[in-house]
Amino acid sequence: MIDRTQFGEQLREIIAATEQKIAGYEAAAAPVTPDDSIGRVSRMDAINNKAVVEAALRTAKRKLQRLKAMEANLDDPNLGLFKRCGRPIPMGRVLAMPESPFCVRCSS
């Protein structure tokens, strides 16, 4: 089983890092104004980059929601068990993807 105190601390660190990423993505996803004289090709690159950053922002926000849900369930007696099959989650997996409640086999 996992050490809930240690896991809680690591989870909060991951949440803080994800929140920082979100703040950076939000700053980078600012609208590309047509008043900037950056040239047609550069403007197209900026618009493309903005789309990529917006996709990363959506992914990070979904991850943050799942992380916060896991943080809210730190007292759950089933913490450390996959939701569908009930097998123990390896600690490496918990730290790499704490927001994922399913093992590879169950998620397929």
Are 99 and 60 in contact by the 8 Å Cβ rule? The answer is: no
Looking at the predicted structure, is the pLDDT value of residue 100 above 70?
Answer: yes
Looking at the predicted structure, is the pLDDT value of residue 33 above 90?
Answer: no
Q: Residue 38 belongs to what domain range?
A: 4-79
Residue 14 lies in a domain: yes
Residue 13 lies in a domain: yes
SS3 83: coil
Number of domains in the chain: 1
pTM above 0.85, yes or no: no
Quick one: average pLDDT of 62-76? 87
Residue 101 lies in a domain: no
Residue 18 lies in a domain: yes
pLDDT top residue among 97 and 56: 56
Tell me the two tokens of residue 26: 């939000």
